[in-house]
A and B are shown apart, each in its own frame.
Chain A
Amino acid sequence: AQSVTQLGSHVSVSEGALVLLRCNYSSSVPPYLFWYVQYPNQGLQLLLKYTTGATLVKGINGFEAEFKKSETSFHLTKPSAHMSDAAEYFCAVSDLWTSYGKLTFGQGTILTVHP
Chain B
Amino acid sequence: NAGVTQTPKFQVLKTGQSMTLQCAQDMNHNSMYWYRQDPGMGLRLIYYSASEGTTDKGEVPNGYNVSRLNKREFSLRLESAAPSQTSVYFCASSERGQGAYEQYFGPGTRLTVT
Contact = CB atoms under 8 A, between A and B. Distances in A.
Contacts of B102: 34, 46, 49
- In this complex, the interface size class of chain A, counting residues with CB under 8 Å from chain B, is 20 to 34
Interface string A9-50: 100000000000000000000001010100001111110010
- In this complex, the interface size class of chain B, counting residues with CB under 8 Å from chain A, is 20 to 34
A101 interface: yes
Interface of B: 4, 31, 33, 35, 40-45, 48, 50, 56, 58-59, 90, 92, 94, 96, 98-108
Interface of A: 4, 9, 32, 34, 36, 41-46, 49, 51-52, 90, 94, 99-108
11 contacts: A43-B90, A43-B106, A43-B108, A44-B90, A44-B103, A46-B102, A52-B99, A103-B45, A104-B59, A105-B42, A105-B44
